[in-house]
């Protein structure tokens, strides 16, 4: 049965992904990443073009702040469509425990196998633990489910989906079909940011907002891989930035992304 939506289990995977004791704390996150960079990554301007991170942060907000795992699960699944491996792993754990969704251990294995698709060292042992917890019938079901999940959420189809959004947004912002780095260097990007409870705008050089790791597909996936693997070495991740700012993620115009 689906657990009560108010129940938030303290399980190892969630603790590893989000706990301040396992990741870098808010104060250290602020020291390692300039405040403007934090503002970029939690702004509507950025997140509306990065539905992977936008939906992951919304899911995290629903899960940890609002104690709404049912809503959180929906957001993590949306993020999963854009090749967000962290969201895929969280959704797998929710399926395994029946938190916010109906418990389905074969499906949980399939999702964790997907999350471990790139060989992340922290996801692989969880996947193997799941497999060990399945009987033969469940294992067969897991493999069947996995084929369907990979067809919609695997990197082969999910990465191009995300790449298209980044390229389309960059063309629109720079007015160039290829994206103009020279133009980006002269731009000032205005980002709404809360100051004393009132709306304000933060100006920053365009090259900061248009950094290759945020918009160039090749660099972006390297950056995201480093975020997940780097969490094991104390690097700052998108979740740290959320905790450092201590505010809900920006709400984009399209809530269905």
Residue 41 pLDDT: 82
Residues of the chain with pLDDT under 70: 1-34, 36, 174-204, 230-257
Exposure string for 20-39, b = 16+ CB within 10 A, e = fewer = eeebbebeebbeebeebbbb
Pairwise CA distance, residues 32 & 12, whole Å: 26
Enumerate the domain spans of the chain.
26-245
Exposure string for 40-66, b = 16+ CB within 10 A, e = fewer = bbbbebbbbbbbbbbbbbbbbbbbbee
Residue 154 pLDDT: 98
Residue 64 pLDDT: 87
Pairwise CA distance, residues 207 & 187, whole Å: 8
Helices marked H in 48-135 = 51-60, 69-80, 85-97, 105-115, 124-132
Residue 23 pLDDT: 33
- Packing angle between helix 238-245 and helix 51-60, nearest 10 degrees? 50
Residue 176 pLDDT: 52
Residue 182 pLDDT: 44
- Packing angle between helix 85-97 and helix 217-230, nearest 10 degrees? 50
């Amino acid at each position: 049965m689906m657990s009560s939506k108010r129940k938030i289990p303290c399980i190892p995977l969630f603790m590893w992904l989000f706990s301040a004791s396992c990741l870098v704390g808010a104060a250290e996150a602020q020291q390692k990443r300039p405040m403007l960079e934090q503002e970029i990554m939690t702004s509507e301007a950025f997140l509306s073009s990065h539905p992977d991170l936008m939906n992951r942060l919304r899911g995290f907000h629903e899960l940890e702040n609002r104690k709404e795992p049912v809503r959180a699960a929906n957001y993590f699944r949306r993020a999963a469509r854009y090749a967000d491996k962290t969201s895929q792993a969280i959704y797998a754990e929710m399926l395994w425990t029946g938190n916010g969704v109906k418990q389905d251990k074969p499906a949980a294995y399939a999702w964790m196998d997907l999350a471990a698709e790139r060989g992340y060292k922290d996801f692989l042992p969880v996947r193997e633990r799941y497999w060990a917890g399945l009987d033969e019938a469940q294992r067969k079901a897991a493999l069947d489910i996995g084929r369907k999940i990979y067809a919609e959420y695997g990197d082969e189809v999910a990465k191009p989906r995300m790449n298209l959004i980044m390229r389309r947004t960059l063309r629109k912002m720079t007015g160039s079909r290829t994206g103009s780095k020279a133009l980006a260097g002269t731009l000032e990007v205005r980002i709404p940011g809360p100051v004393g409870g009132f709306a304000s705008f933060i100006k920053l050089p365009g090259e900061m907002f248009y950094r290759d790791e945020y918009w160039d597909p090749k660099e972006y996936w390297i950056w995201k891989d480093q975020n997940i693997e780097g969490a094991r070495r104390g690097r700052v991740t998108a979740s740290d930035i959320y905790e450092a700012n201590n505010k809900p993620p920006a709400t984009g115009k399209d809530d269905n992304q």
